[in-house]
Chains A and B, each alone.
Chain A
Amino acid sequence: EAGVTQFPSHSVIEKGQTVTLRCDPISGHDNLYWYRRVMGKEIKFLLHFVKESKQDESGMPNNRFLAERTGGTYSTLKVQPAELEDSGVYFCASSYKGRFQETQYFGPGTRLLVL
């Protein structure tokens, strides 16, 4: 079974540009999470989808970030316009739908550098 995949693995953009990150969860996983790790800090929650619905978006930093999960499969996270402080590693994770299926499986991350 394939794990969580993310694309691209790296992205270098200039301040003010737009970047779109993609996450493909494990097949059959209804829960999809986005997290971010800024250099040397904790892995911080951004938002949580259950199928195509946003269950919790309390971690989204501001309205420059837009996440979608059309059809309840893959998800995209768009940053527009990007700022220097958006640099970091963006992780996606997925988990099965059951209440007690807590294990979150992480993707390899997208390393974003905003210059």
Chain B
Amino acid sequence: GENVEQHPSTLSVQEGDSAVIKCTYSDSASNYFPWYKQELGKRPQLIIDIRSNVGEKKDQRIAVTLNKTAKHFSLHITETQPEDSAVYFCAARLNTGTASKLTFGTGTRLQVTL
């Protein structure tokens, strides 16, 4: 089955700096890679996703890059703000032709300090 590894487990940056979270996956048949943000006490929420036919996707201060050859993908947050503080999860989904489960990384706790 699929295995997703995520680094770092914790990340502290100063407000205004950039943050990068990296994930690797094991199964080359995975074709969909979402990122979820979970604020304290709240539900995980999708913030950005990328499909395997795309190398990069950007949405305002958030971007995701995918390297299919190396089987890794990264989340980039620029100009970080205190409200970016949360736990971020990467995930991968196998291409089964139908809706199917997500395999998650272990999460990164991002702390944005003033």
**A-side interface residues toward B, CB under 8 Å?**
3-4, 31, 33, 35, 40-45, 48, 50, 55-56, 59, 91, 95, 97, 99, 101-109
Q: Report whether A42 and B101 are in contact in the complex, using a CB–CB cutoff of 8 Å.
A: no
Question: Which among B61-69, B73-81, B92-100 touches the partner chain?
Answer: B92-100
Q: In the complex, which range does the number of interface residues on chain B fall in? A: 20 to 34
Q: Given A41-B106, A103-B34, do A59 and B101 touch, yes or no (CB 8 Å)?
A: yes
- Interchain CA distance A40-B107 in the complex, whole Å: 8
Q: Report whether A103 and B46 are in contact in the complex, using a CB–CB cutoff of 8 Å.
A: yes
Q: Is there a chain A Cβ closer than 8 Å to B104's Cβ?
A: yes
Residues of A within 8 A of B42 (CB): 108
- Interchain CA distance A40-B87 in the complex, whole Å: 11
**B-side interface residues toward A, CB under 8 Å?**
4, 6, 32, 34, 36, 42-46, 49, 89, 91, 93, 97-107
Q: Report whether B99 and A31 are in contact in the complex, using a CB–CB cutoff of 8 Å.
A: yes
